[in-house]
Structure 1
Amino acid sequence: MPLWTTPGRQLNNTARLTLQNVPLQDEKLLIVNVNLADVSDMYGAEIQMRYNPAQLKVRDNDTRLDGIQIKPGPLIAFDNRFVVQNMADPETGTIDFAFTLLRSATPIEGDGVLATIVFEILGSGPYSL
């Protein structure tokens, strides 16, 4: 997963990405948080994930927009950011999500949820991402 500090300069990959299953009462949904930890001076990020479309279907976070989107997390919940790519492809079972901070934004530090993915369960597990 690429992480950027300032435009054009990539971090040394000291940040960590983890996936966290969010417990739910609904057995037909699987909610996954994409967490970042130990982030320092982050200016942007891109994640690409694969899932089995025979088992899982991404639930669209914003039906007003074309395509299927995941939910940007609280780590980037401010005005001075731009989501460059936010697309789930149900045919190929891929998710592409990328954002960058705008010029006046302070780089991101610390830990937090970068994005949340809500899957509808179509087939039996185990599930892999």
Structure 2
Amino acid sequence: MSDDLPVTKAPPADTAPSAATRDVRLPDAILADVPVVDTAAIDPPVTDLPGTAAAVPDEVGTEEVDTRPLDELLDELYHGQERISQVDIYRRAVAAELPAQLLSRLNAVPQGEYAVDELADLLGGSAG
């Protein structure tokens, strides 16, 4: 029960905490109740890292992708076929070494089987 008694004198000098382990009190200004405001959404971007708004110029050049290789591949694939799965189309497009822009369009199509006109609608082209 001696643990319940309040300490009325300092511990012996050999057990006193060193200066490095003593509690240090922060200034009251730091501890004051000040509302915290997240300004990240309203501050202008200050970095030019890739993928940030500051790294993308106002006029982004979007070159038109030549879709003829994809059209030719789809004509070949759908010859005599009514529906083909997205996985098979993508696999054949990779094997045909289509440009990355066309592969990314095909990869964005949800998995499933598609008729040529359905696929053309999803890819933003025309079936023909």
TM-score under structure 2 normalisation? 0.24
Answer 1 or 2: which has greater strand percent.
Answer: 1
Answer 1 or 2: which has greater helix percent.
Answer: 2
- Structure with bigger gyration radius: 2
Return the structure number with greater relative CO, CA threshold 8 A, min gap 6: 1
TM-score under structure 1 normalisation? 0.24
